[in-house]
Amino acid sequence: MILNKDYIQEKLTARFGHDVSEWDEQFGIISFRVAPLKNLEVVSYLFSEADLGFQFLTDITGVHFPDRKGEELCTVTHLHNLQANVRLKMKAYVPVEQPDTYSLVPQFAGANWMERETYDFYGINFLGHPNLTRILNADEMDYHPMRKEYPMEDPTRMDKDDEMFGR
């Protein structure tokens, strides 16, 4: 058995049906989309299924797509099968009004801080997380700074005027 995109897609589609979709492979990383409330179930299956063996969590992060109505926020989870050296990227899109997905802490204890950081910067709510609080920003912040709804710079700042830099 060769662990490749077609085999993984076949196994996950047989088990989860339409809850996994949008399969692709770029730069040696297999990517797919998962229903946001199926992420923990899919990751647990990828971990425990002997012929899949994705038992290393590389990263969890977020992305903000302000133009995608109803799926503005995305969690991106990177998993690795170290024995076969196969990498997966799992994407779960959630609406900004209710950005809920399940926490992966029950499967990977190391997901704790990654999810806290993603919550802190993007406001994605990880259901079942043991301590979903801000980790890098001040607790008093009432916004999530990595969302693209805020300007990158203050246009009124004089020290950022292009004329001062010879442009």
Q: What pLDDT shows up at residue 158?
A: 66
CA dihedral 146, 23, 97, 132 (to 10 degrees): -60
pLDDT digits (tens, 9 = 90+) for 49-66: 999 999 999 999 999 999
Point out the residues of the chain with pLDDT beneath 70: 1, 151-155, 157-167
CATH class as words, domain 5-147: alpha beta
Tokens of 138: 């001040």
pLDDT digits (tens, 9 = 90+) for 93-117: 999 999 999 999 999 999 999 999 9
Q: What pLDDT shows up at residue 149?
A: 82
> Is-contact 129 109, C-beta < 8 A?
no
Where do the domains of the chain lie? 5-147
